[in-house]
Structure 1
Amino acid sequence: MSGIMKSVLPVVMLILVVADQTQVITKTEAQSSTNCAATLGNLNVCAPFLIPGGATPGSECCTALSTVDRDCLCNTLRIASRIPVQCNLPPLTCSGN
């Protein structure tokens, strides 16, 4: 093996390892995102509770909510709160009512 090949080989190996790890992370993030979307979709049973004056959430809603990962729910709420600004509307502010 030439001197150049000996010095380039470790760099190429490092790039391959990093690329492989990035692919694993990307698959994990995609799977996590899919799981988040699926569990959030299950919250449709909670829709009647979300309407002002709506009913108390039933056991189906509570069960669906218990399956949602906390980070998934919090990130979704954070993203949803940014929608008005992205639409050039005033930021969402809510009173304590």
Structure 2
Amino acid sequence: MASMKSVFPLVILIVLMSHNQFVTKSDAQSCSSTLSSLNICAPSVVPGASTTPSSDCCAALQSVDRDCMCNTLRIASQIPTKCNLPPLNCGEE
């Protein structure tokens, strides 16, 4: 069973979908539902993880609409600035 710390990034993304300005309410519900299936991928996405995603994770990822995923990531990347924190910089330095 994944720890709360490892599931937290995925939970944040799912919660953000309820505030998604880029999709309709029914699309947001559908997106949120498919994103919740990605919890199975938690062991593969936490910092320091070296595990190869399971076949169940890959299947769940394949079922998520790309617009849903991209809009969610776009919204998540705006949160630090809205909290008066430095913007995300995920590039290698």
Question: Do the two structures share a fold, i.e. TM-score over 0.5?
Answer: yes
Q: Which runs of 5+ in 1 are unaligned?
A: 1-27
Paired residues for 1:39-58 under 5 Å: 39-54=34-49, 55-58=51-54
Amino acid at match of 2:85: L
Q: Give the match for residue 88 of structure 1.
A: 84
Higher helix share: 1
* C-alpha distance in 2 between matches for 1:76 and 1:29: 13
In structure 1, which of residues 28, 34, 55 is the aligned counterpart of residue 29 of structure 2?
34
Residues 33-68 of structure 1: CA deviation (Å, up to 9, x unaligned) = 100000001100011111123111111110110110
Q: Which has the larger radius of gyration?
A: 1
* C-alpha distance in 1 between matches for 2:29 and 2:90: 30
- SS of equivalent to 2:24: helix
Aligned-residue RMSD, C-alpha: 1.6
Give the TM-score normalised by structure 2.
Answer: 0.69
Bigger relative CO (Cα 8 Å, ≥ 6 apart): 2
